Amino acid sequence: MAYRLKLGNQELFEELGKFLSDAGVQDIRLRRWAQVLRLEMAPHRLPEEVIANLVSREKKLEANVIAFRPEIDGERVTANRIAEILRTSGDMELRRAAWEASKELGPLLADELRELVRARNLAARSVGFPDYYRMNLELQEIDEARLFSSLGRFASLSEEAFRRMKARLDRLLADRFGIEAIDLEPWHYGDPFFQEVPPVFGVDADPIFAAHSTLEWVKTYFAGIGLSIEPILEKGDYFEREGKDPHAFCLDVNREGEVRVLLNLKDNTYWAGTALHEFGHAVYDMNIDRTLPFALRRPAHISTTEAVAMFFGRLARNLEWLAAMFKLRGKKIRELEGKLLEEQRMQMAITGRWTLVMIHFERGLYRDPDQNQQNRWWDLVQRFQLIRCPKGRASAHDWATKLHIATAPVYYHNYLLGEWTASQFHDAMLRDLKLEEPEAWVDRPEIGEWFRDNVFRHGSLWEFNELVRNATGGIP
Ligand SMILES: [Zn+2]
């Protein structure tokens, strides 16, 4: 708390500014410390009542989200139940009802969300930024023009491949449901936002995960690569219960390595990937050099910690990893071969295109909150995900059901930067550790060592592009 108050200290902020503009100060570490601290301080220069107002609006939205229990035919269901229906059910009416139930949150949040966006913009303008989106990009040391030009390149480079892949996916889905591909609706895909590859390949790693306690193997896995999570395991919150946040996250409580992970575990592929992802964040936080000054004792960048989390999250669909981790043999491996790789490729394409929707949507939302956001949302979904809006949703607020807009604003680009960086880490490790594909990434302490030496321990001592360049030879 005292640290929070200091972050709002105007004198210190100006002093740091003077310090940075003094060419006489050449100590790189000192300069970086001042720079990071100044960036961290910038949003705290807002008047106390403005911050309090934003926080209370966010809290209210969050409380609505946590209290929300969707209903199907008058019966309350959990988010996990909706996910299950969309992944497994062959009942078209039930699928539609589940998808629609997941969107009932929209009207409950839309007005307040729009108000929150306006309030965030007002706050950003009061400290000299054109809007809240731009403010956050700058505070994340991201150049908007450069980011959106990378996104444009990515969109056009992935367009053709995605179109082909989507056509194949649609044929598989149409076969599965016994309908024409032209009649596919959003609820025929495997989740409420088409973020996940639907289960159409007849490959299913779920039985492998169902046979093992996720917490147990996660612990064994990280210990095997020299990044034990044992010290923090006791303190986390891992299972579903009424009234609990249904999502997943990792929190570094005080930058002293006291890291907490929240999950709603089921022993299946989805939660295996999510557990690997969140504990990926955790091992990063746990291994930052404690002798760094407090301001630098955090990951180099959001996209860098996402990259690490993704590096591990990807393993849940990696055949070599599964085989080594769960000692699979012969027939079990052959059943998964090929299909699992196609599924993973498709997953990455789906993630990439979905991320483009979110990033463009959010930028537009802050540029002009008064526009018809429902139209904008579905225009982007159609353009990037090739999914059209079902009839009768003109007055719905489907855009408002994506919780990140309320609770993790101006964050989504970090997932895409993270995917790119995760692939760079992967390639750099193959090169540096002289590994060869296919590599299982299991029981190799040198993996933990590579991450610790090249990434984790530095905290945010280096600007993230520089850190990634030093670690891998290229920028994200
Ligand atoms: Zn993450």
The CA distance from 45 to 205, in Å, is 49
Name the architecture of domain 142-476.
Orthogonal Bundle (1.10)
pLDDT of residue 1: 42
CA distances from 5 to 9, 41, 209 (A): 7, 10, 46
Ligand 1 centroid vs 126 CA: distance in angstroms?
31
Cα-to-centroid distance, 464 and ligand 1 (Å):
17
248: CA distance to ligand 1 center in Å?
9
Quote the ligand 1 centre to 76 CA distance (angstroms). Answer: 29
Q: State the distance from the centre of ligand 1 to the C-alpha of 169, rounded, in angstroms.
A: 27
Q: What's the CA gap between 385 and 166, in Å, rounded?
A: 8
User: What separation in Å is there between the alpha carbon of 422 and the centre of ligand 1?
Assistant: 12
Residue 275 CA to ligand 1 centre (angstroms) = 10
3-state secondary structure the chain: CHHHHHHCCHHHHHHHHHHHHCCCCCCHHHHHHHHHHHHHHHHHHCCHHHHHHHHHHHHHHHHHHHHCCCEECCEECCHHHHHHHHHHCCCHHHHHHHHHHHCCHHHHHHHHHHHHHHHHHHHHHHCCCCCHHHHHHHHCCCCHHHHHHHHHHHHHHHHHHHHHHHHHHHHHHHHHHCCCHHHCCHHHCCCCCCCCCCCCCCCCCHHHHHCCCHHHHHHHHHHHCCCCCHHHHCCCECCCCCCCCCCCEEEECCCCCCEEEECCCCCCHHHHHHHHHHHHHHHHHHCCCCCCCHHHCCCCCHHHHHHHHHHHHHHHHCHHHHHHHCCCCHHHHHHHCCHHHHHHHHHHHHHHHHHHHHHHHHHHHHHCCCCCHHHHHHHHHHHHHCCCCCCCCCCCCHHHHCCHHHHCCCCCHHHHHHHHHHHHHHHHHHHHCCCCCCCCCCCCHHHHHHHHHHCHHHCCCCCHHHHHHHHHCCCC
Q: What angle do CA 95, 192, 180 make, to 5 degrees?
A: 55
Q: What is the mean pLDDT of residues 109-133?
A: 94
* Higher per-residue confidence, 63 vs 115: 115
CA of 272 to the centre of ligand 1 (A): 14
Asked whether 87 and 269 are in contact (CB, 8 A), the reply is: no
CA of 306 to the centre of ligand 1 (A): 5
Q: How far apart are CA 102 and CA 228, in angstroms?
A: 37
pLDDT at 193: 97
Q: How many Å lie between the centroid of ligand 1 and the Cα of residue 271? A: 13
Ligand 1 center from residue 228 Cα (angstroms): 19
Q: Which of 199-203, 315-319, 380-384 has the lowest mean pLDDT?
A: 199-203
Please compute the mean of the pLDDT values over residues 261-276 and round it to a whole number.
92
- Give per-residue pLDDT as tens, 365-376: 999 999 999 999
Question: Among 4-18, 91-105, 257-271, which range has the highest average pLDDT?
Answer: 91-105
Give the distance (Å) from ligand 1 centre to CA of residue 361. 20
pLDDT digits (tens, 9 = 90+) for 210-259: 999 999 999 999 999 999 999 999 989 999 888 787 788 898 888 888 89
Output the CA torsion sign for 37, 42, 47, 51.
Answer: negative
Q: Could you tell me the distance, in angstroms and rounded to a whole number, from the CA of residue 332 to the centre of ligand 1? A: 30
Look up residue 183 and give its amino acid: D
- For the stretch 279-296, pLDDT in tens is 999 999 999 999 999 999
Mean pLDDT, rounded, of the chain: 92
| Residue extents of the structural domains in the chain | 1-45, 72-103, 142-476
Q: Give the Å distance between the CA of 281 and the centre of ligand 1.
A: 7
List the structure tokens of 230: 């044992």
**Region 416-428: what's the mean pLDDT?**
96
Amino acid at 182: I
